Amino acid sequence: MGMSDYYKDLRELIGDELIFMPAVAGIIRNAEKEILFGRKHNESNWGLIAGAIEIGETPAEAMVREAFEETGLVIEPERIIGIYGGRDHRFIYKNGHKVEYLTIVFECSIKGGNLNSDNEEMKELQYFSENNIPPIENNYPTYIFRSQQDERAHFERNSK
C-alpha cells in the first residue's frame, strides 16, 4: 500500500522533519521454524515483515494487515516478543524523510494465504534460519530471533 493518506498529509505539513511513528513487526515462522524476511524494491538489506500502525487500528490489526499486504499470508499475532524504540530506531529514508519508530514485535503464526513474492511492497521474500539471519536495517536485539524464549516481553530500559 505504501504511505497512508495520514502520513502523506503529515509530511505535507512538516516536510522531512523527524516524526515519531508507532509500528509493528512480525516474527513469522514456517513449519521448519525459519523466519520470514522481505526485501523491498531498490533495497539491498532485508527486514522483518513490518509497517506503521494506522489511525484507529490496533497493533494486532496492523500486524495482520501488513503481513497480508507484504506477503499474501494470513497470520495471527500470538504474543508480544518485545517493544523497541529510542534513538537507535531512527532512520532517514532515501527521500529524506526522518522517522523514529516505536516498534511492537509480535510472534505470529501462519493461518492461511499464499506467499506472494515480487508484489507492490516487496521484491523478494525468503525464510532464514535463526542462526543465519540476513543483514537487516533495524537494530533489533538477537534475542527476538530465538525460537526458545521465555514468555515475558523484552524491552530496552535505557537509551544511549
Q: Give strand pairing partners of 35.
A: 29, 128
Cα 15 from Cα 13, distance rounded (Å): 6
- The verdict on whether 107 is a catalytic residue reads no
Number of C-beta neighbours around residue 80 at 10 A = 18
Cα 156 from Cα 86, distance rounded (Å): 9
Catalytic residue, chosen from 124, 137, 151, 156, is: 124
Asked if 152 and 80 count as a contact pair (C-beta separation under 8 A), the reply is no
Q: Give strand pairing partners of 30.
A: none
Q: Which residues are catalytic?
A: 124
